[in-house]
Amino acid sequence: MKKIGIINSEISEVISKLGHTDTIVICDSGLPIPDHVRRIDLALKQGVPSLLETLSTVLEEMEVEAAFVADEMERASPQFKRELEAVMKGVPVRTVSHEQLKRLTHEAKAVIRTGEFTPYANIVLQAGVIF
């Protein structure tokens, strides 16, 4: 059994296989996930687990150089956006349209689905390097 870090074997595996600029997505319970992209479904019930809790845990193991969220998040969920940016701790969070964000999911190595019910609560994480 793992002693530290993410104990979800699927998430741990995906992170360990990421190369520079590869992406993963952490999404709310409603984002459409392309059939050809690996789905890691953590959603248990409304709000469980939350996107921010999941994101914080992933960031403990994943080196992230950039992130992308939908422009619409600012209008629909401004408090959530502020909380998300605080969790990102200085990593650039760029905005794209929600339609563009959905297109980015097609290139992701995996999509981690949470129980989040906040509108536009989705983030694409781009892997960095640790050297």
Q: Is 22 annotated as a binding residue?
A: no
Question: Residues of the chain whose pLDDT is less than 70?
Answer: none
pLDDT for 41: 98
Residue 17 lies in a domain: yes
pLDDT at 63: 98
Q: What's the confidence (pLDDT) of residue 42? A: 98
Q: pTM of this prediction?
A: 0.97
Rounded Cα distance, 72 and 122, in Å: 11
Distance between CA atoms of 25 and 41, rounded to whole angstroms?
A: 12
Identify the active-site residue in 17, 20, 82, 106.
Answer: 20
Report how many domains make up the chain: 1
Give the model's pLDDT for residue 19. 98
CA distance 27 to 87: 15
Does 76 appear as a known binding residue? no
Report the pLDDT value the prediction gives residue 6, as an integer from 0 to 100: 94
Is residue 121 marked as binding?
yes
Single-letter code of the amino acid located at 41: D
What is the CATH classification number for the domain harbouring 115? Answer: 3.40.1650.10
Residue 20 a catalytic site member:
yes
Three-class SS of 28-91: CCCCCCCCCCEEEECCCECCECCHHHHHHHHHHHCCEEEEEEECHHHHHCHHHHHHHHHHHCCC
Write out the residue range of the structural domain in which residue 91 sits: 9-127
Residue 18 falls inside a structural domain? yes
Residue in the structure block whose two tokens are 């979800």: 8
- The pLDDT value recorded for residue 88 is 97
Question: For residue 1, is it within any domain?
Answer: no
Q: Binding residue per annotation — 28? A: yes
Percent with pLDDT over 90 in the chain: 96
The total of other beta-carbon atoms located within 10 Å of residue 29's CB is 18
